[in-house]
Amino acid sequence: MTIPVSRPHLDDNDRKCVAETLAASEISGTAGTFIPEFESAFAEYCGVPHGVATTNGTAALHLALATLSIGPEDEILVSTLTNMATFFAVLYQGAKPVPVDVEPDTWNMNPALLESLVTPRTKAILVVHLFGHPVDMDPVLSVARKHNLFVIEDAAEAHGAEYKGKRTGSLGDIGCFSFYANKIITTGEGGMLVTRDKKYADRARNLKSLAYGNENRFMHSDIGFNYRMTNMQAALGCSQLKRIDFSIESKRGIANFYNNALRDIADLQLPVEKPYAKNVYWMFHLVLRGGFKGKRVEVMRELKEKGVETRESFIPYNMQEIFLKKGLTEQDLCPVANDIGQNGFYLPSGPVLSERELVYIATSLKEVLDSVR
Ligand SMILES: *Cc1c(COP(=O)(O)O)cnc(C)c1O
């Protein structure tokens, strides 16, 4: 038996809602009522008026950049430590991503570095609320205002996380979410872009559905995409959204358990929750310090032998071979992220972990760390 890093939580209402769409033959991305219902309910949850559902989180990010007309002349400041989907979205638009190093404690974009990276070509800042902890947004927004830059949030890991009492997705111009199976709530595959600005929502809605014309449907108004979420997925999303509080509370409970169990281990860096933040602890991520540095392979292998699945931290943009080979970036641009990328990993993080499993995981980790020290 292995405890996986994540297992989706599905219930009877989820199954009932999806079955309803099948029974009604309302299965596509233009059929039924669940899509608009999910869009407005999720946008409202985030604290903004508009939501545009997409096929996945990567599509939501790409759609956000296309909506803002980001193009080949533009540079985008992006947090280097992230799922590479964040960077791919920038590259799909032909724009140049500029990696920004992270803070050593939150592992999020370090706002103090932004000013020195702004050039006349800079168009936007793309922040990532990593592992569920919101970015310190005020200094980001102040640089953005000063230089007239868009702010896009990659909130794929941070549904319901709060910055100074405001939910992620409502903090910049456009917020992007993923509903992949291991995210805070899921539609299997899926995503959404949320925004305060009706112009952006209208343009995104048009672009995501092949930019069909208004007067004559087949006189397209732009080069569109098919990024439509299906009604089946939206049905699951509506049902999942009803218990998002449960999902977040269970993530926070798991984090609380791990924090208490692991607090006294020297040389093990635990996640933080800054005074400005409500962390939703998408995944419980740790960094090996001091004597444990460089022992990640061993630690992860031994945990696996005990039936505990773990996963390495993300590899920063500036360390990705494909981008280094193309000469797009250099390894030593982001030393803090490099260190975390090399020594970080995450533990099973629910939302359906039993107390017994949690105790077993924490005990196993302690044993493994004792043995490699
Ligand atoms: C999951 C994730 C994505 C991509 O979302 P998909 O739905 O898998 O396309 C993008 N950014 C971050 C930070 C993610 O964690």
Q: What is the pLDDT of residues 322-363, one digit of tens each?
A: 999 999 999 999 999 999 999 999 999 988 899 999 999 999
Kind of pairing between the strands at 122-128 and 75-79:
parallel
Longest dimension (CA), the chain: 70
Is the shortest distance between the CB of 136 and ligand 1 below 6 Å? no
Is the shortest distance between the CB of 347 and ligand 1 below 6 Å? no
pLDDT for position 320: 98
| Ligand 1 centroid, distance to 331 Cα (angstroms) | 23
pLDDT classification of 256: cutoffs 50, 70, 90:
very high
pLDDT classification of 204: cutoffs 50, 70, 90:
very high
pLDDT for position 373: 84
CATH number of 12-241: 3.40.640.10
Could you give the residue range(s) of every CATH 3.90.1150.10 domain in the chain?
244-372
pTM equals 0.98
Mean pLDDT, rounded, of the chain: 97
**What letter represents residue 362's amino acid?**
A
Could you give the residue range(s) of every CATH 3.40.640.10 domain in the chain?
12-241
**Residues in contact with 93: Cβ distance below 8 Å, sequence separation at least 6, in sequence order:** 62, 65, 66, 70, 71, 72, 74
* 3-59: pLDDT as tens digits: 999 999 999 999 999 999 999 999 999 999 999 999 999 999 999 999 999 999 999
Q: Closest residue (by CA) to atom 14 of ligand 1?
A: 156
pLDDT for position 350: 82
Class for domain 244-372, per CATH?
alpha beta
Closest ligand 1 atom to Cα of 61: 10
Beta strand ranges found along 207-352 (DSSP E): 268-269, 277-278, 284-288, 311-312, 344-347
Is the shortest distance between the CB of 153 and ligand 1 below 6 Å? no
Closest ligand 1 atom to Cα of 58: 9
Structure tokens at 207: 């672009």
The pLDDT > 70 percentage for the chain reads: 100
Is the shortest distance between the CB of 82 and ligand 1 below 6 Å? yes
Pocket test for ligand 1, best of 83, 182, 315 (most atoms within 8 A of CB): 83
* 166-177: pLDDT as tens digits: 999 999 999 999
pLDDT for position 95: 98
pLDDT higher than 90, residue 299: yes
For residues 317 and 84, is the Cβ–Cβ distance under 8 A?
yes
pLDDT classification of 62: cutoffs 50, 70, 90:
very high
Closest ligand 1 atom to Cα of 60: 9
* 219-242: pLDDT as tens digits: 999 999 999 999 999 999 999 999
Mean pLDDT in residue range 210-222: 95
For residues 183 and 176, is the Cβ–Cβ distance under 8 A?
no
Handedness of CA 142, 145, 148, 154 (dihedral sign): positive
Spatial separation of the C-alpha atoms in residues 43 and 57, rounded to whole Å? 15
| Ligand 1 centroid, distance to 62 Cα (angstroms) | 11
